[in-house]
Amino acid sequence: MARPILHNDDVRAQLLEEAAALVAARGVAAVSLRDIAAAAGTSTTAIYSLFGGKQELLTAVVDDGFVSFAASQSEAAPDGLLALGRAYRRWALEHPSLYSLMFTGSLGTYIDCPPTPEVASDAITPLLTAVSGGLAAISSTEPPSAVAGAVWGQVHGLVGLELANAPLPGGTWTQAYETALQGIVRAYFEM
């Protein structure tokens, strides 16, 4: 054989952890492969042999983000749609850089790191399920996918504006968020 393998799963896990920590701390634009490798005590070659490149490493970071987000949503699911909406915002505000990287897509970011489709859709499923269940409970005739899209867009958009520090004259985003959640209930879930 040859010299022993150092680029093993432990190094892979540590690279992932350091990459996620640096993204969370400084934003995706400010992290370099050299920084990540140095923080993990290895060289940039490890990133290429274990992930393939920066794009794939960031995709792994994003996938981990979706797993964490999905766990947060699943935990809130039993408490209903409003709880899901509040947990959605709470997770996003706790992970601003990561949320942005996860949901902004290729347009806003300087590198394209799309999530694994299945991982991403799993994270949104609780919200969509709650919407469908709520519509069924009142025998609504609205198409569930359209209402689910509207609700998702509502929470995503408010979180996005808040994270972007968009100015809301005369009010707070917390107020707007609660108003929006109540509005969703009135618009779609009362017969």
Partner DNA sequence: ATCGTTTCATAACATCGTTATGAAAGCGTT
Partner DNA sequence: AACGCTTTCATAACGATGTTATGAAACGAT
Residues binding DNA (CB under 7 A): 1-8, 31-35, 42-46, 48-49, 53-55
160 part of the interface to a second copy, by CB under 8 A: yes
59 part of the interface to a second copy, by CB under 8 A: no
Among candidate residues 24, 31, 17, the one with its CA nearest the CA of residue 111: 31
Task: Pick the closer one to a second copy by CB: 37 or 135.
Answer: 135
36 part of the interface to a second copy, by CB under 8 A: no
153 part of the interface to a second copy, by CB under 8 A: yes
68 binds, options DNA, a second copy, none, Cβ within 5 to 8 A by partner type: none
- Output the 3-class SS for 64-130: HHHHHHHHHHHHHHHHCHHHHHHHHHHHHHHCHHHHHHHHCHHHHCCCCCCCCHHHHHHHHHHHHHH
DSSP per-residue string spanning 112-176: --PPPHHHHHHHHHHHHHHHHHHHHHTT--S-HHHHHHHHHHHHHHHHHHHHTT---TTS-HHHH
Residue choice 21, 39, 83, 176 for contact with a second copy (CB under 8 A):
176
Residue choice 40, 81, 87, 184 for contact with a second copy (CB under 8 A):
184
* Nearest approach, Cβ of residue 189 and a second copy (Å): 10
Q: Which residues bind a second copy (CB under 8 A)?
A: 27-29, 96-97, 100-101, 103-111, 117, 120-121, 128, 142-150, 152-161, 163-171, 173, 175-180, 182-184, 186-188
